[in-house]
Structure 1
Amino acid sequence: MNNRSSILTIEKFYSAYLDNERDIFVYLPPGYHQDLGKRYPVLYMHDGQNIFHPAFNGYSWQVHQTVDRLIQSGDIEEIIVVGISNMGAERSNEFTHDLDGVRYQDDKVDIRPLGETYEKFVIEEVKTYIDVVFRTKPEAEHTALMGSSRGGQVTYHMGLRRPDIFSKLGIISPYFYYVDPVTLEEYPQYHTFTGLKPFSRIWIDLGSTEGILVMEKHVREVAEKLADAGYEPDRELLYLYEPRAGHVEKDWAARLASPLIHFFGGKGEECFLSLDGSSEVGIKGPACRVNPVLESDHGLRRTLLRANYEVQDESVLEVREDGILVPKKEGETLVTAQYEGLRAGKTIRVVPEIPERVMLDIIVHVPADTPDDIPIYAYFPLKHDPVQRAYVNQQHLPLHTEFVFQVTRTDGRVGADRNGVIIEHRYEATADGTLEIDVKQWY
């Protein structure tokens, strides 16, 4: 008797709306073939070729492993997961809606917005097929949608446009702004919706180490607009700002359990509160906030959008309920976050001024056999400097920007050490400085 989950592949699924075809992947839970009268909630995910299988970078969401584990532990009910493959070069077009506020004309790539057509494809072609072929619970209350990066952007737009289809939205590391890497000018890529829609669950998150691609202030901006629209923060609307997480499948996989539990599980017992975020704020300078992270016994992690704060010395600073620090005078004081009997503290220092931006000089030394005409990147594009015999860049960055990167070439080769081990570099913009890297060989 089969009591294991399975993954089916529907090859070359044709879309009449988009006039293209792609593979669809379907995860069926362990009990699907046991009780033939039972129906199941469904989670639809964009970029489906990466959710069960490795992406081009070798990483996968490993969705089946996480769902299996959570079902086995009883933390979520059994669900069906549908992965909808993207179309490669067409991904940016299909994931972009032509809506007020979406400045796709100013995006980093040329965009031909097909978001509404892609939306029809998912709802009227994919979902219709899945509901006919598999034993689903087709109602909105049992249907979730999830995606990351541009997939987070299209999840946000599709979900808020069609609450009659989706009642649970997983908006992961969403691409809500394009930030020009040279000028740091910001171009919004999302529409602001007004009015409360009948959602039961919204999850929105990002990692602290996503560079200027996905920034905390932008994602939090959208989360606050959703709260202002009437979605109850820390109940219906959950948010997570995950320390040290980057913009990559392995980090999305690491926190996948949290939105799944939010959608398909119970509250659990909240057992631990920590307080991350800024430890220094300037009387002059950018806004800073603390990040109270609440953990439950079944593994759900979330940042509290609203917490109660105590400040030991209120003459030094105040803390708004959204975690923003409001400095008053130089000094330091203990700030304590509280939530339903749990407490966590952090000492905050107030200084006269902190900079909005810092300057980073990047210097990369490469092997002598490196072709002079091949572009090289260290997160940012580098220029060849024959005087230093190196590749360089000078970059202004917003304070506290963090990113993880490898030194790469446009032909796909990556910087490695003497033993051929690819080196991953991590940087945080805390002060002006120089990042000097010595690539021993290309792998």
Structure 2
Amino acid sequence: MVSMSSRMVEVADFPSVSLGNTRSLYVYLPPSYHENTEKHYAVLYMHDGQHVFSADERGGSWDMHLTADRLVSEGRMEEIIIVGIATVPHQRLNEYFHDNPRMHHVFEPPFAGEQYESFIIEEVMPYINQQFRTLRGPEHTAMMGSSAGGIVTYNIGFRRPDVFGSIAVMSPYFVKAHFDGGGELKEHPFYERYGTHPKLRIWLDMGGAEGIFMEKYAQQEAERLIQDGFVPGEDLMLFLDPGAAHSQSDWAGRAHAPLLYFFGDIGEPASIKLYGDSVVGVRGPIKQLNPVITYDSGFVHTLMNGTYHVESPELLMLLPDGTLKPQTTGSSRITLQMGKLIADKEITIVEELPELVKVAIQVKVPPSTPVSPMIYAGFEIPYCGEGVYKGCAMVPHGLSFTFKVSRGFGLHEKIGDPEVKRRSFTALSDMELLYEVEDWDI
């Protein structure tokens, strides 16, 4: 069933032969679509389509229609069609995971990624091309997704660069990281690397406060892509988004950047800022700076290789990728220059920083809350009785978490204080955190 507004189309109960189910497709039509009836448009396909243009009880909206309209009205971006492909209840991970040997060590099959890929390419795309005035070919076709939607975007992009010429891989679920019963962090990379360099433009990002979705996973993959032949600033853009969590609102907040990269003009660099820890140990965890460049268009990305000047090189060395190499205790100012833009930062070097810090969390929930074996508060913590959950974990030094307490997918706490939308903490030393849930979102 097709329902129409002037600019938004919902195709309800769209059937899939490949997957044997139905779902909605949500289609955004650009401002001139109904006036300029001879014009054809590039297409962006997006996963988790129910959140692309609106919110529901499971999560917020990316508001992609608002972002696209704004960039078009500013003359920053060409008009495009955006297709949001909704998920099917309880099938999301099955459909977003392609099968590979590593998957079987981490998750239970089935893995229907190949069938989902066929569904998009052989069923959704022909329908969209038939019903709407689209430009064909990979140079006019892009894909975007986050979390598990990020890994399926990555896989489809590398498997079918003949179809998709640009992919936005946002906060990708590349590694299953969790704390075991003893609070020790376990990391299981389960994605397949292709080791190829197809004609493909890649946007890759991760937030700085996503907890166990760590910046290093995106950083490491970006470095491997460079080894495969991708060139930063040309066919690869990395953005480590300072302070961003693993949420629709944070993905919405930076979705303009891949839109500009794929379909617009990123403009000229306007400012540069150095993010990252200001304290580093001669002994302890490796620290890396995050130089973020902001453009006059609003485009942002992380500079992967820069020319740094260290005021006191006898105290501190700095690699072009921003990795800090402390030599002895003290402090030194570092400077990064890119053209006429300059950023600096004071770094304090101490004798030692711990690799891990102990974080203990206690959460008290309302008496009416159904008992769950676990509750999520940055990481999973077990039920201890009488409406209290307690747990602890050994967390990598400097790791940041921004979250809402939740008791299942989409079952988040309601925070009464309008100034406090989410909880957050950074693991810089051993800490004990006490949270009390006032109520739950319905």
**TM-score, length-scaled by structure 1:** 0.92
Question: How far 1:119 moved relative to its partner?
Answer: 1.0
Change beyond 3 A, Cα 1:434–1:232: same
Q: Given that residues 373 and 383 in structure 2 are in contact (C-alpha distance below 8 angstroms), is that contact kept between their aligned partners in structure 1?
A: no
Q: Given that residues 98 and 111 in structure 2 are in contact (C-alpha distance below 8 angstroms), is that contact kept between their aligned partners in structure 1?
A: yes
Question: How far 1:239 moved relative to its partner?
Answer: 0.9
Change beyond 3 A, Cα 1:251–1:370: closer
Paired AA for residue 130 in structure 1:
I
**Could you tell me which residue of structure 2 aligns to residue 288 of structure 1?**
287
Question: How far 1:54 moved relative to its partner?
Answer: 0.4
Is the partner of 2:219 in helix, strand or coil? helix
The C-alpha deviation readout for 1:418-437, integer Å capped at 9, x for no partner, is: 88998631111111010012
Is 2:225 the counterpart of 1:208? no
Question: How far 1:234 moved relative to its partner?
Answer: 2.2
Q: Given that residues 208 and 245 in structure 1 are in contact (C-alpha distance below 8 angstroms), is that contact kept between their aligned partners in structure 2?
A: yes
Q: Given that residues 415 and 422 in structure 1 are in contact (C-alpha distance below 8 angstroms), is that contact kept between their aligned partners in structure 2?
A: no
Distance 1:180 1:58 in 2: 23
**Could you tell me which residue of structure 2 aligns to residue 246 of structure 1?**
245
Between 1:375-384 and 1:24-33, the stretch displaced more is 375-384
Is the partner of 1:127 in helix, strand or coil? helix
Question: How far 1:265 moved relative to its partner?
Answer: 0.7
Q: Which one of 145, 169, 175 corresponds to residue 171 of structure 1?
A: 169
Question: How far 1:385 moved relative to its partner?
Answer: 4.1
Question: How far 1:371 moved relative to its partner?
Answer: 6.0
**Could you tell me which residue of structure 2 aligns to residue 336 of structure 1?**
335
Question: How far 1:151 moved relative to its partner?
Answer: 0.5
**Could you tell me which residue of structure 2 aligns to residue 9 of structure 1?**
10
Q: Given that residues 44 and 143 in structure 2 are in contact (C-alpha distance below 8 angstroms), is that contact kept between their aligned partners in structure 1?
A: yes
Distance 1:55 1:225 in 2: 37
Is 2:44 the counterpart of 1:43? yes
Q: Given that residues 140 and 166 in structure 1 are in contact (C-alpha distance below 8 angstroms), is that contact kept between their aligned partners in structure 2?
A: yes
5+ unaligned residues in a row in structure 1: which ranges? none
Q: How does 1:23-422 map to 2 (within 5 A)?
A: 23-99=24-100, 103-107=102-106, 109-182=107-180, 183-199=184-200, 201-212=201-212, 214-367=213-366, 375-385=374-384, 390-409=388-407, 415=413
Question: How far 1:278 moved relative to its partner?
Answer: 2.0
Distance 1:69 1:63 in 2: 10
Is the partner of 1:209 in helix, strand or coil? coil
Q: Given that residues 372 and 407 in structure 2 are in contact (C-alpha distance below 8 angstroms), is that contact kept between their aligned partners in structure 1?
A: no
**TM-score, length-scaled by structure 2:** 0.92
Is the partner of 1:186 in helix, strand or coil? strand
Change beyond 3 A, Cα 1:205–1:421: closer
Is the partner of 1:180 in helix, strand or coil? strand
Is the partner of 2:243 in helix, strand or coil? strand
Distance 1:132 1:418 in 2: 48
Q: Given that residues 179 and 187 in structure 1 are in contact (C-alpha distance below 8 angstroms), is that contact kept between their aligned partners in structure 2?
A: yes
% identity of equivalent residues? 40
Is the partner of 1:132 in helix, strand or coil? helix
Q: Given that residues 58 and 410 in structure 2 are in contact (C-alpha distance below 8 angstroms), is that contact kept between their aligned partners in structure 1?
A: no
Q: Given that residues 415 and 423 in structure 1 are in contact (C-alpha distance below 8 angstroms), is that contact kept between their aligned partners in structure 2?
A: no
Change beyond 3 A, Cα 1:419–1:254: closer
What number of residue pairs does the alignment pair up? 434
Question: How far 1:132 moved relative to its partner?
Answer: 1.8
Distance 1:52 1:207 in 2: 21
Q: Given that residues 318 and 327 in structure 1 are in contact (C-alpha distance below 8 angstroms), is that contact kept between their aligned partners in structure 2?
A: yes
Paired AA for residue 272 in structure 1:
S
Q: Given that residues 403 and 427 in structure 1 are in contact (C-alpha distance below 8 angstroms), is that contact kept between their aligned partners in structure 2?
A: yes
Question: What RMSD in Å do the two structures reach over aligned CA positions?
Answer: 2.3
Q: Given that residues 234 and 305 in structure 1 are in contact (C-alpha distance below 8 angstroms), is that contact kept between their aligned partners in structure 2?
A: no
